Amino acid sequence: MSNELDFPYHFDDRGRTATTDRPNHIRDLIEQVLFTAQGERVMRPDFGAGLLALVFEPNSVTLAATTQMLAQAALHQHLSHLIAVTSVEVINDDAVLRAEIRYVVLADRTSHVASIPIPGGAA
């Protein structure tokens, strides 16, 4: 375990702030970027991709393309000091979009894949 905060914030079995290892922390950061709406953070109004705003949009190829573009741009803008995104693929799967994000952690050059479900409207 490292000293990276786990997200969402919670307490561990000892009653202390829960921590996680570096790869899980970076995946948590990716989720925060994807699901935070722009304007949600007062001190960083441009932070986030705002993908939760797309929840009530009808699931379609257009929605998948929009999601891919928003995710890739936001990850590059906000996490490029930690990761290099190699690809973002959004898979249209019934009422859920799934983002497959392939990235390299810059600190140790390890490759990772994060599969993140994004709730969406009916097809």
What confidence tens digit (pLDDT) does each residue in 72-110 have? 999 999 999 999 999 999 988 777 789 999 999 999 999
Sheet architecture: strand order including 83-93? 83-93, 96-105, 110-119
CATH number for the domain running over 4-119: 3.10.450.40
pLDDT tens-digit series, residues 51-75: 988 888 888 888 889 999 999 999 9
- At 2 the pLDDT is 65
**Which residue did the predictor score with more confidence, 98 or 1?**
98
- How many angstroms separate the Cα of 77 from the Cα of each of 1, 9, 40, 85? 28, 24, 16, 11
Cα–Cα–Cα angle for 113, 115, 119, rounded to 5 degrees: 160
* Structure confidence at residue 93 (pLDDT): 76
